[in-house]
């Protein structure tokens, strides 16, 4: 798993072009996946949500748009600066979520402070993803939800062949040119291709102490939304 300091430096470097690259490289459908994550949490009755490794705040804002009270936390200062700007630049009357600096492995919140914790395309960047899952579960109340939105790899043809060609050839080239950081967009396909299959991540979430772990695939398996519940009775 990647070391924290190089990852922090990499994301601080690419922060100015990060949102543009997300839209270009995902053809804009990453927004749909974030909206679906917010929908799942709203339908589960969650109200207070912590968005871990929030980056520039796309998921945090999607949660707010769904009517949830969202807090974003990230350890990369330049990414947080973008998130703050987007939060305060919203349409008049829309609530601005809180964005705080913090480490996903040592979250600065009391146990059980939230109804749910999310992480979108960030779990694979943690030094210890098992510890990250445990820490996310710690800050969620009994009966609450931990949600992981992450890239995956399609298994069936022709989607797998198209995806692998795009991810290993097109994405590093386009991402490197737009961002000015070729290493960052070689890192992305390397970490995604090394990522466990959805069934394996579901089992990791179970080993982290979560219950009712399940997943939903998007775009023929190019991404997956994993959810698990923190053991114990829900608040009355």
Residues annotated within a binding site for S-adenosyl-L-methionine: 56, 74, 103-104
Helix axes 129-138 and 198-207, enclosed angle (nearest 10): 50
What is the Cα–Cα distance from 195 to 156, expressed in whole angstroms? 17
103: β partners: 106
- CA dist 217 and 151 (Å) reads 10
- List the binding residues: 56, 74, 103-104
Burial of 113 (C-beta count, 10 Å sphere; 0-12/13-18/19+): middle
Q: Which has the closest alpha carbon to 105: 206, 221, 2?
A: 2
* Cα–Cα dist 48/145, whole Å: 11
* Alpha carbons 102 and 159: distance in angstroms, whole number: 37
Residue written as tokens 């339908």?
A: 43
């Amino acid at each position: 798993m990647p070391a924290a300091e190089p990852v922090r430096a990499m994301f601080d470097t690419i922060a100015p072009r990060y949102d543009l690259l997300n839209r270009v490289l995902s053809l804009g459908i990453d927004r749909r996946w974030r909206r679906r994550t917010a929908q799942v949490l709203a339908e589960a009755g969650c109200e207070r949500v912590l968005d871990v490794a929030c980056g520039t705040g796309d998921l945090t804002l999607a949660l707010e748009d769904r009517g949830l009270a969202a807090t974003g936390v990230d350890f990369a200062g330049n990414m947080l600066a973008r998130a703050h700007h987007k939060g305060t630049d919203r349409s008049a009357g829309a609530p601005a979520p809180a964005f705080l600096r913090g480490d996903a492995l040592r979250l600065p919140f009391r146990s059980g402070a939230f109804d749910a914790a999310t992480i979108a395309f960030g779990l694979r960047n943690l030094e210890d993803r098992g510890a990250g899952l445990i820490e996310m579960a710690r800050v969620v109340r009994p009966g609450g939800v931990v949600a992981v939105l992450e890239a995956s790899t399609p298994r069936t043809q022709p989607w797998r062949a198209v995806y692998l060609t795009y991810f290993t050839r097109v994405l590093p080239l386009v991402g490197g040119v737009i961002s000015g950081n070729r290493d960052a967009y070689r890192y992305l396909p390397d970490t995604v291709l090394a990522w466990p299959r959805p069934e394996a991540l579901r089992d990791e979430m179970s080993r982290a102490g979560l219950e009712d772990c399940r997943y939903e695939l998007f775009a023929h398996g190019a991404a997956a939304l994993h959810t698990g519940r923190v053991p114990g009775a829900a608040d009355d």
